[in-house]
Amino acid sequence: MTRDYFAYGDLLDAGLPFPGWSFRISGLEKWPVIKWIAKSASLEHSYSGKETRAWQFENISPEQMNFFNFGTFREDYKDNERSSRINRNFSPLLGLNMTLKKNVSVTFRTNRNKSLDESPSGLTIHADTSYTSTGTYTHRGGMIIPVPFYGDLNLNNTMSFTLNFDLNSSAEKRSGDKVNLEKGSFSNSWKAGLRVSYQFSTKVSGGLRYEYRESVTRTTGRKIDRDFGFDVNLAISG
């Protein structure tokens, strides 16, 4: 049995059948304060949730499920239930997109996801939280280079600077008796990066990037990574 579901409570032990939703509000640049800094702005929010259960019956014929009174069926045949999963996803819980003046754009998103897996051997609760933000500045210009015997060479170029920051956390709790929860695996990480992209005319492009990453997990402890690189692309035709 699978159905759309909205679960709540620390253990996702309560809820009701309810479809997911998603909406986007645009025109925020007309609001007070925001109109002073943004040329366009929008807000996003989305939810999806599912309940999935499976039973195994031997030598008996279960009653028909009643959509409006499913709780009775679930309680009557709890001993025959082999697995169940409930998930609740806000992706995003809040999303903000803004285009500022002078070719600057900013995005921000935060997600909240939680799931409950249950079987005769116990239950597992998994929770994820993430924050993502990006800022981009784009500059368009050009230069004129005098070339002997050729004349002036016009080079139109575009440069963009992108700064991003991500923060993620994940935690798991387990229980064999379905009463006393014990802390399981967990991870916390964050990263920040800068990328500079450039394009000279339509034939030459490339970029530089640097990223710093730091993470902590239960099994590996603290770990730090740094990444630096560059790329050059040349379009040759003829």
Q: Choose among 215, 5, 1, 217: nearest CA to 115.
A: 5
Domain count for the chain: 1
Is the pLDDT at 151 greater than 70? The verdict is no
**How confident is the model at residue 216, as a pLDDT?**
93
Q: Choose among 198, 199, 195: nearest CA to 209.
A: 195
Please report whether residue 12 resides in a domain: no
Please report whether residue 108 resides in a domain: no
Q: What is the rounded average pLDDT for all residues in the chain?
A: 87
Q: Is 9 left (phi over 0), alpha (psi -120 to 50) or beta?
A: left
Instruction: Kindly state the tokens that stand for 148.
Output: 């002997």
Summarised one tens digit per residue, pLDDT across range 12-22 is 888 888 999 99
Please report whether residue 140 resides in a domain: yes
Please report whether residue 128 resides in a domain: yes
Is the pLDDT at 112 greater than 90? The verdict is yes
**Across residues 206-234, what is the average pLDDT?**
90
Is the pLDDT at 154 greater than 70? The verdict is no
pLDDT tier, 93 (very low <50, low <70, confident <90, very high otherwise): very high
**Across residues 87-95, what is the average pLDDT?**
96
Please report whether residue 15 resides in a domain: no
Q: Choose among 96, 94, 125: nearest CA to 112.
A: 94
Task: Please count the residues of the chain.
Answer: 238
Please report whether residue 202 resides in a domain: yes
Ramachandran angles phi, psi of 80, nearest 5°:
-95, -5
Question: Which secondary structure element, helix H or strand E, spans residue 36, and what is its range?
Answer: helix 34-37
Q: Give the domain extent around 222.
A: 121-238
Please report whether residue 94 resides in a domain: no
**How confident is the model at residue 62, as a pLDDT?**
85
Percentage of the chain lying above the pLDDT 70 cut: 91
Please report whether residue 27 resides in a domain: no
Is the pLDDT at 178 greater than 80? The verdict is no
Whole-prediction pTM: 0.81
**How confident is the model at residue 191, as a pLDDT?**
96
